A and B are shown apart, each in its own frame.
Chain A
């Protein structure tokens, strides 16, 4: 299994508790962005497009821990920027692990080998390595030659030291399905625990027809990539989310499922859109006009199928009905039947 049993149990218990206590909107993964400074400049990355004085701002460990406690989500994902640049990242991670949060530290791995001594292997800590494909595709995606090889070396070093390691991959419509499938084989051969995949997001002010075709193309791409998956592939994602990417099931977005906190505050309404900020998690949940976002409700959401909005929808489906639970069990036990 891609996700350890203990983690699955924690998330299951958490989600069922929310449902049994009648909580309609609950966070699943805190997207904690302690900085926006990066040591890459991937073309099109909106996360780093700020003046230098903003890129130099950092959340303190105390701010990070307080956000995790306030939010209450069982999982904390730490993207950026490049988190390993943050001088207090080991302390931030240590504090989150002490609070029994499952931490996914997202990194391009450039600094990982050098900084491994600053971390201790833990069931609560996973290094999630940004890998957008095989060498040619990845180095083009991150706009620098040699990064794929650096990341592979770092993955091997981290695995050897006993760390949990996964990959996270963003795919756009021009991805070649056979090359992506080979990439999955390569990552599994390295020995990573699991892979996470997501379509990219690009806000386009095109008319509705173009947006529809974009979504349809995304479904076609993932259908070709995920049809008859190789038995060795492991994804640390809900199988229902993978079905959503393939167009087998449709969901509305769950933007509150992955709330985002960074140097500006709590981001409305989601990890991708920046429609303002509030000071507290409660204000985020109470003051965001949630019904104004999602497919068919907002043009900025028209062709979005990203995991930060839809993974939580899939998880909610799993625990929302016997049918959803049954489909999840079948997809988990028989993934190659897709």
Chain B
């Protein structure tokens, strides 16, 4: 559960009820009664609390948004790679209207 909490991508939870929940786990409380996690399900406006006991399996199905994004990784890239990546990010921001 700690690994799933630290993961910076979406996961898929299979619940004992047979339900599948896909989303981002942003909180967990093993000391709560009962111990539970909080997840933002994809496409839902609100978060959801799910007791640990209801979770049968966790799969790391979403992209790890932190992978390869460290400062050290950035400075080790060739300048051409950095420029290309920067241009792509800029284009995405422009497409969203954030530039």
Asked if B27 and A265 sit within 8 Å, CB to CB, the answer is: yes
Question: For chain A, what secondary structure do more than half of its interface residues adopt (helix, strand, loop), or is it mixed?
Answer: loop
Taking the closest CB of chain A, its distance from the CB of B95, in whole angstroms, is: 11
* B contact residues, range: 20 to 34
Known interface pairs A276-B28, A276-B29. Does A44 touch B98 (Cβ–Cβ under 8 Å)?
no
| Residue interface bits A45-86, CB-to-B below 8 A is 1, else 0 | 110011101100100000000000000000000000010010
Q: Across the A-B interface, how many residue pairs have beta carbons closer than 8 Å?
A: 74
Q: What are the residues of chain A within 8 A of B12 when measuring CB–CB?
A: none
Cβ of A43 within 8 Å of any chain B Cβ, yes or no, is yes
Q: Is the CB of B71 within 8 A of A54?
A: no
- Minimum C-beta distance from A237 to chain B (A): 24
CB of A264 within 8 Å of the partner chain: yes
B82 at the interface (CB under 8 A from A): yes
Of B42, B43, B72, B93, most A-chain CB atoms within 10 Å: B93
- Interface hits, B29-45 → A, CB 8 Å: 29, 38, 40, 42-43
Determine the chain B residues whose CB is within 8 A of the CB of A38 once the complex forms. 98
Q: Is the CB of B27 within 8 A of A277?
A: yes
Q: Any chain B CB within 8 A of the CB of A213?
A: no
Whether a CB of chain A sits under 8 angstroms from the CB of B3 is no
Contact at B89–A202, with CB atoms within 8 Å?
A: no
By the criterion CB–CB under 8 Å, are A53 and B66 in contact? no
Give the residue name and chain of the A residue nearest to B65 (CB): A49
C-alpha spacing A172/B99, complex, angstroms: 27
Q: A39-B93, A143-B82, A276-B29 are in contact. Are A54 and B73 (CB under 8 A)?
A: no
Whether A41 contacts B98 by the Cβ 8 Å rule is no
Measured CB to CB, the closest approach of chain A to B81, in angstroms, equals 12
A143-B74 contact given A50-B24, A51-B9, A51-B10, CB 8 Å threshold: yes
* Chain A residues proximal to chain B, CB less than 8 Å: 37-41, 43-46, 49-51, 53-54, 57, 82, 85, 110-111, 143-145, 172, 202, 264-265, 276-277
Chain B: residues with CB nearer than 8 A to chain A?
8-10, 23-24, 26-29, 38, 40, 42-43, 62-63, 65-66, 69-75, 82, 85-86, 89-90, 93, 96, 98-99
